[in-house]
Amino acid sequence: MLRRVIKGLLVWGAVAGLWGLVAVGGLFAWHAYQLPDITDLDRYSRPGSVRLMEAGGSLLASYGPLHGDPVTVADLPPHVPDAVIAIEDRRFYDHVGLDVLGLARAMVANLRAGRVVQGGSTLTQQLAKNIFLTPDRSLSRKIQELLLAFWLERTFGKDEILAIYLNRVYFGAGAYGIDAAARKYFGKSATQLSLAESAMLAGMLKGPSRYNPVSAPERARQRADLVLAAMAAQGRIGETARRQATTSPARVRGSAGRGPGHRWFADWVHDQVPSYTGRRDADLSVRTTLDTHLQRLAEQAVAQGFAKTKGQNVGQVALVALDPATGAVRAMVGGRDYRTSQFNRAVQARRQPGSAIKPIVFLAALDAGWAPDDIIGDDPITVEGWSPANIDGRFLGAITLTEALSQSRNAASVRLQERIGRQRVRALAGRLGLGMDLAPGPSLVLGVDTMSPLDLAGVYAAFANGGRPIVPYAIEAIVTRAGNPLFTRSGSGLGGRVDPDAVGALNAMLAEAIDGGTGKAARLDRPAAGKTGTSQGFRDAWFAGYTADLVAVVWVGNDDGRPMNKVTGGGLPARIWRDFMTAAHVGKPAHPLPGVPLGDRLAHRAAD
């Protein structure tokens, strides 16, 4: 009787086991049927990205998912794959896609902790999930992940799987792949990563946001130390190497570590890219004109200037700097804080430049045959029912053109404009790049038309280069990921030229405006010229100036047009301009302004 019972149990157990195997086989077969097409890894598309490079060739900013250059395991220093394997999958080269021992170890650790503290997924499983599957935490998804892991192991070698993983895994800040992460965080190729840098990137894989070295530097460093300890414990590095990398942790040097100040420029460039290339899904690399050294100095000058504005009711600022020879934009600050306002006041804001527009009128007069020492009357004048006043309420009588410009005398400037004719002034403005139609009325000379700091910088660049009008620009070249050129800049001028002798005379007059006129606060230790500008009611204050090597324009005011507390162009804007230009020229030789001899009193008077 007992034997029949045991035999029956064995038979039915075998039948149940067989049906269980059939059921499990059917379950796996059904999930295998539901798998996505895995025959071609390359067919999986992704949105195209735009990488902006600064003038020196380093990554400035990226838009869309950033993918670096594909690498193989052989391309990388050994400590790069070793760091990833040590912390993510120490038995990677021994398992077949599923690490039973690792899974068991993780289960024990999780049971002891009462929560999930370790994961049992292999790198192959993570790769299967990242490439083909959704992040759902379901039994069905785990079965598909396992099946895909087995397929990957059967189809590719271990080094190939590791390379695919390293080229696709996410490292935060929009960076996909080890090379993109190396460039984003450390400003270098993945083939150049140090041990400390490799450990920090490997540590990020557990949580790219949580262990981000920019937003959580201490947490990222502790995680990197854990990676180094695991590498040493597994014999992948020696104790001396571990200690050196721990005591000298990686420092963020790439674009991810920069402040957001450059983003005004980057956004402006990114918006222009489609006009050069059309709408494209491919990855693009854009070489820009930005000089990150000058950009940093511009941001520092703005910050220092605004640290001393208490009680002046100044809300915003813009600064733009150009190479006068080409029009290349070298630095741009579009406001006080990009995080609170992405509106780019250097490009998008159109404000009244006030007297900063006067040099166009005086250049038109010089071009018409007037001389800097010619006399003009700074007396009351009424034109078409309008009577301009000087800011100090006084009239100086007969003065030279140089005095009228350097002291920014409104009555004398209007009288000069009426003598030479407004149409001559408007025509010259057009030749200098001010494409908008300037107001035809007599107040033209007082800067009632609106323009951006970038517009004004473009005009002053022609003064700094000796009379050749230019177009400000920010893009040098655009290429595809494969290196195919889509755009290469050639030429930047508007054509034509203003009389160099007239420009030289104007440069001497504007040098006097800095040396002893309204722009005294902007004086440098080298030949420089410039002009202040203040709009009616102290709503806008400007300083536009240049050396032979660099043009810069500074504007301050309030977005809503509220008046400032008597802030003029010769005050805060001139000081910001001086601080920026002084720092920008450190270590550079002094060059004479075009048309003005280096020893000319008006071009270079030693600071008191």
Summarize pLDDT for 262-302 with one digit per residue, the tens: 999 999 999 999 988 876 777 899 999 999 999 999 999 99
Encode pLDDT of 462-490 as tens digits: 999 999 999 999 999 999 988 899 999 98
How many separate helices (H) and strands (E) can be counted in the chain? 19, 14
The contacts of residue 97 (CB under 8 Å, 6+ apart) are: 122, 124, 125, 146, 149, 150, 152, 153
**Which has the minimum average pLDDT: 6-10, 119-123, 439-443?**
6-10
Rounded to the nearest 10°, the torsion over CA 562, 565, 567, 572 is -100
Annotate 463-516 with DSSP letters as a single string.
HHTTS--B--B-EEEEEETT--EEEE----B-S----HHHHHHHHHHHHHHHHT
Q: What is the pLDDT of residues 493-548, one digit of tens each?
A: 777 899 999 999 999 999 999 998 999 999 999 999 999 999 989 999 999 999 99
Of 144, 145, 152, give the one whose Cα is nearest residue 28. Answer: 144
Give the whole-angstrom CA distance, residue 411 versus residue 352. Answer: 18
The amino acid at 437: D
- The rounded percent of the chain whose pLDDT value lies above 70 is 84
Taking alpha carbons only, the member of 546, 380, 343, 535 closest to residue 461 is 546
Instruction: Look up residue 605 and give its two tokens.
Output: 């008077």
5 vs 279: CA distance, rounded Å: 77
Residues 6+ apart with CB under 8 A from 16: none
**Residue 433: DSSP 8-state:** T
For the stretch 86-97, pLDDT in tens is: 999 999 999 988
Which residue do the tokens 């060739």 mark?
57
Q: How far is CA 451 from CA 150, 281, 354, 437, in A?
A: 64, 35, 10, 11
Average confidence score pLDDT of the chain: 87
Residues annotated catalytic, as ranges? 88, 355
| Overall average pLDDT of the 121-132 stretch | 81
297-584 in CATH: which number?
A: 3.40.710.10
Contact in structure between 319 and 334 (CB atoms under 8 Å): no
According to DSSP H, which parts of 350-451 are helical?
Answer: 358-367, 401-406, 410-420, 422-431
Among the listed residues 440, 386, 429, the one whose alpha carbon sits nearest the alpha carbon of residue 411: 386
CATH 3.40.710.10 domain residues, the chain: 297-584
Amino acid identity at 319: L
Give the pLDDT band (50/70/90) at residue 254: confident
Task: Assign 3-state DSSP to the chain and report helix, strand, coil percentages, each to 5.
Answer: 45, 15, 40
Q: Where in the chain is the domain with CATH 1.10.3810.10?
A: 54-257
The arithmetic mean of pLDDT across residues 68-72, rounded, is: 92
Q: Which CATH architecture has domain 54-257?
A: Orthogonal Bundle (1.10)
Does the structure show a pLDDT above 60 at 137?
no
What average pLDDT does range 566-582 have in this prediction?
96
Contact in structure between 446 and 387 (CB atoms under 8 Å) = no
Angle at 283 between CA 279 and CA 285, to 5 degrees: 100
Instruction: Note whether 217 and 179 are within 8 A (CB).
Output: no
Between the two ends of the chain, the Cα-to-Cα distance in Å is 120
The sign of the torsion formed by the CA atoms of 234, 236, 240, 241 equals: negative
Considering the entire predicted model, what is its pTM? 0.81
- Asked if 531 and 356 touch (Cβ cutoff 8 Å), the reply is yes
